Amino acid sequence: MEKRRSSRFSERASRLTERFSARREGLRASLVRHGRLPQHIHNRVRKHLTGAEDRRIRDIIRERFETPPVVRLVDKASFLFGVIGCALIEYAVLQQPHNFSSFYMYAMIPLLCLRLWLYTQLKWHYFLLDFCYAANLACLVQVLLFPTSPTLIMINYVNASGPLALAIPTWRNSLVFHSLDKITSTFLHTLPALLLFCTRWYPPPGYVPEEQLSLSASLGGGLAAYMGWQALYLLHTEVVFRHRLSSHRDLMTSIRWLTTTPYSGITLVVHRLLRGCGVLAPDEMFNSEQWKTKLIFIAVQFVYTAVTMLPVHLLWASFRLHLGFLLAIYGICVWNGASYYIEVFSKAYRKKFEGDEAARRAAMLEALEAPGFATAAPAPSMDAPNMAAPSMAAPSLEPGVAETKIKSQ
């Protein structure tokens, strides 16, 4: 009798072991085949963590970050680091101008990574294809790989002192310390100009700058680099990512941002001018998916870039003129920030903490001046939502949260 019981127990244990082994092997095979947990287990984990099988964990994390206490904490941290960043910039320029390239590198790499992460959450990551990001990438290449290359330094000098610096008054970038987006956009447009100012007047070891920079050299080199970027931009938006952009209209690009009604800033001026010239019909609006609109914005962007590059060779020859130019540009940036705090912030900030989740999110997008939410929007600042030089190519512009779009950095 005892042997029979023992035999039955052994058989049952053997069957259970085989069953669990089969399940384990099935799970292992599923992981190898699909690279993820089976759907029923995935749903259980989701329900345990979020309370519902159809609710994504990333949505819970995003909602937590959008709650008023977290928003206030992020704004306070942004204010703190923005003020500290300005103090460090002053120290680096006045006390360590020969080593400003190191400060630029340590500041810009984290800012670009953070912007990529934040804009990916908002589906604005295609803004990072815009010209101001390409210009900052070229500056990082200079700092890390070719610190004494005359050609690269000249091209970066033209881009940083022309389109990027003049994007601050053009797109109303503003020094708003509590806004992580605006402070990031401000640094994206101001730090390259400071980097090349220090490189020109306090050159690194091994680099001896020419005394004069001719108009033909500055304009030719700058536009050659710009057209190279424009070709790559069109390759990405019209070939590589064409299907994804056309099938996901919620993915924001520069041209989609700028052509969203109501128009403002340069977009409004260009629209009125083209209707007056007969290029556009009296009731015709921009359409970001049509090549007519794309070619218009490509042409406008090219003209803007060429015009802003014209005075750069004069700055190369005069320390005082160069210094005065930068002080004027940064003074405008500070003035825009003061205007924002006095005229916009006092009314808009409280909305971010009132109402339900949908109302708070709408208020947040309105503060970034996103299309469909912006009130009186100054033209976007070129950096995805805050942009440097306007990137008016095929579907994609830079977003930085500015005063017009997120771009009012």
How does pLDDT run across 161-187, given as a tens digit for each residue? Answer: 999 999 999 988 999 998 889 999 999
Element housing 169 (H / E) = helix 165-170
Residue 222 has pLDDT above 90, yes or no: yes
Q: Spell out the alpha helix ranges (H) of 202-339.
A: 215-235, 242-247, 254-258, 265-277, 291-309, 312-317, 319-339
- pTM of the predicted structure, to 2 decimals: 0.74
Asked if residue 77 lies in contact with residue 85, where contact means CB atoms within 8 angstroms, the answer is no
Predicted confidence at residue 389, as pLDDT, reads 41
CA dist 280 → 67, 154, 251, 273, 393 (Å): 45, 39, 26, 9, 18
Q: Which of the four pLDDT bands, split at 50, 70 and 90, describes residue 8?
A: low
- What the block records as the tokens of 287 is 């359409």
Q: Cis link prior to 147 (omega < 30° from 0)?
A: no
What does the pLDDT average to over 314-335?
A: 97
Q: Which of the four pLDDT bands, split at 50, 70 and 90, describes residue 384?
A: very low
What is the distance, to the nearest Å, from the Cα of residue 216 to the centroid of all Cα atoms in its chain? 31
Give the burial class of 55: count Cβ atoms within 10 A of its Cβ; 0-12 exposed, 13-18 middle, 19 or more buried: middle
Q: Distance between CA atoms of 248 and 252, rounded to whole angstroms?
A: 9
CA dist 89 → 126, 137, 290 (Å): 29, 19, 43
> Residue 315: what are its φ and ψ, rounded to 5°?
-65, -35
Half-sphere exposure at residue 309, Cβ-oriented, CA atoms within 13 angstroms: 27
CA dist 225 → 46, 185, 187, 353 (Å): 48, 22, 22, 45
% of the chain exceeding 70 in pLDDT: 68
Question: For residue 286, what are the contacts with CB-CB under 8 A and spacing of at least 6?
Answer: 258, 259, 263, 267, 271, 293, 296
Predicted confidence at residue 403, as pLDDT, reads 36
Give the burial class of 112: count Cβ atoms within 10 A of its Cβ; 0-12 exposed, 13-18 middle, 19 or more buried: middle
- What the block records as the tokens of 386 is 């805050």
Tell me the pLDDT of the chain averaged across its residues. 82
CA dist 1 → 9, 12, 178 (Å): 12, 17, 81
Give the burial class of 132: count Cβ atoms within 10 A of its Cβ; 0-12 exposed, 13-18 middle, 19 or more buried: buried
What does the pLDDT average to over 309-318?
A: 96
> Residue 77: what are its φ and ψ, rounded to 5°?
-65, -40
Asked if residue 121 lies in contact with residue 380, where contact means CB atoms within 8 angstroms, the answer is no
Residue 157 has pLDDT above 60, yes or no: yes
CA-based torsion, 5, 9, 11, 12: positive or negative = positive
Question: For residue 141, what are the contacts with CB-CB under 8 A and spacing of at least 6?
Answer: 152
What does the pLDDT average to over 147-158?
A: 97
Helix, strand, coil tally for the chain in percent (to 5)? 70, 0, 25
> Residue 355: what are its φ and ψ, rounded to 5°?
80, -170
Nearest one of 60, 41, 40 to 50, comparing CA atoms: 60
Predicted confidence at residue 41, as pLDDT, reads 66
Asked if residue 369 lies in contact with residue 401, where contact means CB atoms within 8 angstroms, the answer is yes
Residue 376 has pLDDT above 50, yes or no: no
CA dist 23 → 26, 143, 283 (Å): 5, 55, 66
> Residue 318: what are its φ and ψ, rounded to 5°?
-135, 120
Q: Which residue has the higher pLDDT, 398 or 335?
A: 335
% of the chain exceeding 90 in pLDDT: 59
Least confident of 70-84, 92-106, 160-174, 240-254: 70-84
Predicted confidence at residue 390, as pLDDT, reads 40
**Hey, how many other C-beta atoms are within 10 angstroms of the C-beta on 301?**
25
Asked if residue 372 lies in contact with residue 386, where contact means CB atoms within 8 angstroms, the answer is no
